[in-house]
Amino acid sequence: MQIEPIINARFKQFRQKNELENIPDGEAFEKFVNYTILSLHQPDAFGADSELLDFVCVGGMADMGIDGLAIKVNGIIIKSKVDIQDIIKRFKRVEVEFIFIQSKYKPNFNKGELNNFVDGVRDFLSEEHHFPMNDALKQQLILKEYILSDDVIIMWDSNPKVSLYYVAMGRWNEAPDLVGIQNQFQKDLKSLNVYECNFFRFVDSAALKEIYDSIQNTFTATIDTRHIMPLTDVEDVTNSCISIVYGAEFIRLISTEDGIIRKSLFNDNVRDFQGTNPVNSEIYATIQDNPEQFIVLNNGITIVCDEFKQNNTKLSISNPQIVNGCQTSHVIYEAYKRGADISRVPVSIKFISTTKEEIVNDIVRGTNRQNIVLEEAFEATKKFHKVLEEFFIAYSPEYQKIYYERRSKQYQHNPTIKQTEKVNLRVLTQYFVGMFLNKPHDSHRHESILLKDYGDEIFQDSHSKLPYFVAAFSFLKLEKFLREQQLPSYVRPYKAHILMMLREGIAGYVPSFYRENTIDTYSQKILDSLKDDCHALIKFKEIVSVFDSSMNAWETELGKSKSGTKDVEAFTEYLLSLTRKQFKAFQAPDTDDIEKLYSGKVVNIIRDKYGNYCGFIGRQPDNLFFHSSYNKNLNFDLLKGKWVTYKIQKNIKTNKNFAVEVTEVK
């Protein structure tokens, strides 16, 4: 089928970057559309890990006319009950949106196909279901029913929103019969008294191109400003200024023509919108009650861009990123959506034009330090990750091109780098925890939770970098075999388990990450075993065979249920025991904690009853005690809140750990 050249070029680019040339055009197009539209809602949702994209692609037999389905909870696309529970635990509130997509690799919008789509959505959202559903839809239905259970409803801020997209490659011309179906669906949805219709959009080739370019952040916006004042010259900063922009103009920058906020503008922000909290409520109240005072009561916004040009009062901005002011931007947007008059809201905006990576990192840290931001939000800006990024580039040519994308969409402007050659902080955290810490049952959780729970065990400055490269290399190799259907798709939810078993089967117990020579020799053994694709595939197939045997024995011999096994710690231990038995991995585990060098933040400094200094270092599950008698050269003055490195010893009398050799990180 002939598609317009521009969108066809975007489609080809997507297929090449994600190595999808070998699947049928229709299937690849569904993935392209789902990726594009859902990235508009959550820009960082899809990385090298294809599991989430596969989860939301529900098209096929018995798909009820639905090709894509995503459930968002507090802005995050979820794929398990645990995801929902983690979000509730963290935010104590729930905002839900159901996103349904039908995509047709055809040049026209078809009334019959639209009817099938709408009927399928209506059936999915209803209490009773009459249409046959495939397994992918049934998994989503389980999540929908959980969200509508009493345990979750009590956390709702408002009724769940429902958004529909019907995508075809022709030109949308407001066909009356299709608009009639749209209007009838909106009435039917309202009658259920459970959902709110967010929007129902027909997307043609021109609109799809606009959305795709928007998520790549390759767009230029021109806005009207007031009182532009240039800033002083700074090395590696091409241009900079501070200006006043009124709310109505600011909305033109941060939202699409359809009124959807451009989530990709906030890729470099250290935290997403926090919703209704005391600070954001105050911002909203100022917009409502005292809009003219907004500029003196708000810290303003910082925008980094590739380039900006001034023409009288207008600024033309290329590829902007809002690195500070995510909360302010979203509150202004929410006020606009609720009908508030934002034309009288003056916003102070600092524009900085630079393409220097280090400058952007410094701006991100500097402009957010004054706010209350979770420390894990800065994780990827730490020195360890910068060194790790360089290590990947230096080490990968001998094996496979792998890029560690520390910042979201860091390599998006390089067309030679494929999506299948990149790993981000989320992937590296999840699969390192699963593969090397033997915690695959936890590895599916959000990286912020993993960094909190395992922060003392990963990404330590004194760690060897090679195990992290091994985790990325092994993960991408497994993804490749799954993508090429050389391994069974049913192991996809157990990828972290498979990688743990693979490591154990090849090299045995994990030695200390602090013994560089030992852990590097260990890691190299895994790399050498996986370097050749043919040999690597044989090894993976051996592991899958052991996995299959373990899963069957778990049910038949132990009488356990297969349901939910990927989240069960006992199943992890069972897999480990059978893997070690199969591959005779009986080496003594390395438990020499005295050599390990940890890092953490000092949360408190006190004096004991004799007047001696002591303190506590933040650590899970309990803070770690340290005393001046074991750290005689440490200056305790102003140490609270500082980062330190330390080693651990055990008090023989109390059997409790304490910190020694505490050293402030300068």
What residue ranges in 365-524 does DSSP mark as E strands? 403-405, 422-424
**pLDDT at 167 (0 to 100):** 94
Classify burial at 582, counting beta carbons within 10 Å of its beta carbon; exposed 0-12, middle 13-18, buried 19 or more.
middle
Cα dihedral 13, 19, 23, 24 in deg (nearest 10): 0
Q: Could you tell me the pLDDT band of residue 371, with boundaries at 50, 70 and 90? A: very low
- Measuring CA to CA, which residue among 188, 67, 71 is closest to residue 139? 71
**In the predicted structure, residue 401 carries a pLDDT above the cut 90:** no
Angle at 614 between CA 612 and CA 616, to 5 degrees: 170
Task: Write out pLDDT tens, residues 95-127.
Answer: 899 999 999 888 889 999 999 999 999 999 999
Give the integer Cα–Cα distance in Å for 199 and 649. 59
The string of DSSP letters for 213-226 reads HHHTT--EEEEE-E
Task: Write out pLDDT tens, residues 373-394.
Answer: 344 456 777 778 888 988 998 8
**pLDDT at 475 (0 to 100):** 96
Give the integer Cα–Cα distance in Å for 1 and 185. 31
Task: Give me the mean pLDDT over the 546-575 stretch.
Answer: 90
**pLDDT at 3 (0 to 100):** 60
**pLDDT at 372 (0 to 100):** 37
537 or 357, which is more confident: 537
Could you give the percent of the chain with pLDDT greater than 90? Answer: 43
**In the predicted structure, residue 547 carries a pLDDT above the cut 90:** yes
Give the integer Cα–Cα distance in Å for 379 and 601. 13
**pLDDT at 123 (0 to 100):** 95
Mean confidence (pLDDT) of the chain: 86
What residue ranges in 410-560 does DSSP mark as E strands? 422-424
**pLDDT at 263 (0 to 100):** 78
Mean pLDDT is lowest, of 82-86, 288-292, 372-376, 456-460, for: 372-376
Q: Could you tell me the pLDDT band of residue 438, with boundaries at 50, 70 and 90? A: very high
Q: For the chain, give me the number of helices (H) and strands (E)?
A: 22, 20
**pLDDT at 32 (0 to 100):** 94
Adjacent-strand bridge partners of 230: 241
Contact between 318 and 307 (Cβ < 8 Å): yes
**pLDDT at 648 (0 to 100):** 87
Task: Write out pLDDT tens, residues 480-509.
Answer: 999 999 999 899 999 999 999 999 999 998
Could you give the percent of the chain with pLDDT greater than 70? Answer: 91
**Number of neighbours of residue 190 by Cβ within 10 angstroms:** 12
**In the predicted structure, residue 413 carries a pLDDT above the cut 70:** no
Give the integer Cα–Cα distance in Å for 655 and 666. 32
**pLDDT at 256 (0 to 100):** 78
- Measuring CA to CA, which residue among 206, 161, 11 is closest to residue 71? 161
Give the integer Cα–Cα distance in Å for 250 and 554. 58
**In the predicted structure, residue 471 carries a pLDDT above the cut 90:** yes
**pLDDT at 218 (0 to 100):** 67
Both tokens assigned to 355: 């393409």
Task: Write out pLDDT tens, residues 37-76.
Answer: 998 888 777 876 778 899 999 999 999 999 999 999 988 8
Both tokens assigned to 273: 């919108």
**pLDDT at 465 (0 to 100):** 92
Domains located in the chain, CATH noted: 5-215 (no CATH), 220-373 (no CATH), 377-583 (no CATH), 597-664 (2.40.50.140)
Q: Could you tell me the pLDDT band of residue 512, with boundaries at 50, 70 and 90? A: confident
Task: Write out pLDDT tens, residues 598-632.
Answer: 777 899 999 999 999 999 998 767 889 999 999 98
**pLDDT at 387 (0 to 100):** 87
Task: Give me the mean pLDDT over the 536-548 stretch.
Answer: 95
432 or 274, which is more confident: 432
Task: List all residues 6 or more positions away from 563 whose beta carbon is below 8 Å from its beta carbon.
Answer: none
